[in-house]
Amino acid sequence: MARDHRDTGLNSLGFAKPKQDTRVVVAMSGGVDSSVVAAELATQGYDVVGVTLQLYDHGAALAKKGACCAGRDIHDARRVAEAMGFPHYVLDYENTFREAVIDEFAESYLTGATPVPCIRCNERVKFKDLLETAKDLDADCMATGHYIQRKIGAAGPELHMAADSLRDQSYFLFSTTADQLAYLRFPLGHLKSKEETRALAAKHDLIVADKPDSQDICFVPDGNYASVIEKLRPGAGEPGDIVDQSGTVLGQHHGVIHYTIGQRRGLGIGGLADPLYVVKLDPDARQVIVGPKDALATRIVPIREINWLGDRPLTSGDALPIAVKIRSTRPPREAILRPGADGLATVELLSPEEGVSPGQACVFYDPNSTRVLGGGWIWRG
C-alpha cells in the first residue's frame, strides 16, 4: 500500500488531514482484493466504511467457488469488517443491476454483439450509484480492489495500467470519467503480483486470504451465456442456417446466441479441407456466417460512446497516434484514432486484428506510457 505523502503534507489517500479524519468507503465484493484494501486502510488508521452490493439473487445457483456477489461473498465481507472493526453495509442493487447491466447484456447478444457486462457494471452501478452513496455517507473518497493505478499528472488525476500486467484491469475501467477518477482510489494498483496481495491478507489473518479469484461473470456462474439469455428472453435460441460468405448453406445451428465472432469449434461442419471461423452474425436472418481465418482480419474499427481522459479535448478531424486493446487479454496495438462528431470515432489499426466484434470495448492508451486515455464501444457503423 502507498505510504504517506510526507513531502506534500498529504496522507496516502491524497488529503491534507489526519487519517482518522479521512473517511473512505471501500467497495467490498467479499474477495481477497477488496478485503485487503479495507483491512490495510483500517490498520493505517483511516475511517473505513465497507459497502457490499447485492447485485443478483442466485439462490443455490451461485453456491460454487469463484463466482462473485453470492450470499457467501456478502457474509465474507461482513466477517472481514467485523474482524477489522469497521462498519459494513449491504445495499440491495438488484433492480438497478438488472436494468443497467443484465437487460442490455441479453439484448446485445440477441443483436449478434458480444457484450462486456463487467464494464457496464463499473460504469452504471459501482462508479455511479455506489459512488453517490459514498458521498452521501460523507466519505472523502471511495476505494476499490481493482488492479489499476491513479496518478497525479500536470492536468490532474490520470488513469494508468497496473504495475502487474497480468492483473491489469484497465480494459474494464476505460469508461471511468474524470470526475469519478477524482473521487476514486485504487490502492492495489502498484503491487507487482497477486502473491503480494495474498501476503497482506495473511498478515491481517483475513478469512479470505486463500479464497479463489472470481472467474465468471457474476450472473453467469457456469460460463453458459446462452442458457442465461434463453431464460431472460424465451425463444432467443431459434435455429437457423450456417452459411459461407457467398450464402451457401453449410449446416444448421441452434441459435445465433450460441456463437461469437472468431469461434472455430462447435460449428458442426465436417469434411472441409480448411477450418472455418465465425466471421459475422446476422440475427435478423438467423444466420451464422463462416469463412477462412483471413476473413477475420480487420483494420478499421468503428467506435461510439467515447470516454476521453486525455489532457486536451478530442477534435473532429484529428489523427492521433495511440495504442488500443480490443480484447482484455491482448496487449495494446498501435493505431490511429480519428474522432468524429457525437461521440463517434474510427480506429485504424496499423496491423490487422482478428476477431473484432461489435459489443466489445476498444480501449485507448498513450503509446509512450502506461496511461489510459479512455475508449469506446465497437459497433457495426
Whether residue 126 is found in the same domain as residue 34? yes
Amino acid at 139: A
Query: Which three three-digit cell numbers place residue 106?
Result: 441479453
| CATH, residue 360 | 2.40.30.10
Name the active-site residue from 68, 69, 121, 362: 121
Residue range 67-122, pLDDT digits in tens: 444 578 999 999 999 999 999 999 999 999 999 999 999 898 888 888 899 999 99
Provide the number of structural domains found in the chain.
3
Name the active-site residue from 68, 118, 141, 218: 218
| CATH, residue 66 | 3.40.50.620
State yes or no: pLDDT of 343 exceeds 90. no
131-149 b/e with 16+ CB inside 10 Å = b? bebbeeeebbbbbbbbbbb
Q: Which of 150, 174, 203 is the last residue of a domain?
A: 203
How far apart, in whole angstroms, are the C-alpha atoms of residue 96 and residue 368? 39
| CA-based nearest residue to 130, from 194, 183, 200, 63 | 183
The domain of 35 spans 19-203
Answer yes or no: are the C-beta atoms of 158 and 151 closer than 8 Å.
yes
Would you say residue 9 lies in a domain? no
Question: pTM value?
Answer: 0.90
Beta bridge partners of 378: 303
Q: Which of 152, 185, 203 is the last residue of a domain?
A: 203
Whether residue 248 is found in the same domain as residue 142? no
Whether residue 23 is found in the same domain as residue 166? yes
Whether residue 309 is found in the same domain as residue 263? no
Residue range 314-335, pLDDT digits in tens: 999 899 999 999 989 889 999 9
User: Has 141 been annotated as catalytic?
Assistant: no
pLDDT tier for residue 19 given thresholds of 50, 70 and 90: very high
Would you say residue 233 lies in a domain? no
Whether residue 256 is found in the same domain as residue 330? no
* pLDDT average, residue stretch 239-246: 94
Whether residue 26 is found in the same domain as residue 169? yes
Which is more confident, 5 or 99? 99
Q: Which of 203, 228, 262 is the last residue of a domain?
A: 203
pLDDT tier for residue 7 given thresholds of 50, 70 and 90: low
Residue range 125-159, pLDDT digits in tens: 999 999 999 999 999 999 999 999 999 999 999 99
Strand extents, DSSP E, the chain: 23-27, 47-54, 88-92, 141-143, 148-153, 156-161, 184-185, 240-243, 249-253, 277-282, 287-291, 297-308, 320-325, 333-339, 345-354, 361-365, 371-378
Whether residue 90 is found in the same domain as residue 154? yes
How far apart, in whole angstroms, are the C-alpha atoms of residue 272 and residue 279? 17
As separate numbers, helices (DSSP H) first and strands (DSSP E) second, the chain gives 9, 17
* pLDDT average, residue stretch 47-57: 90
| CA-based nearest residue to 108, from 266, 225, 242, 240 | 225
* pLDDT average, residue stretch 242-259: 93
Would you say residue 232 lies in a domain? no
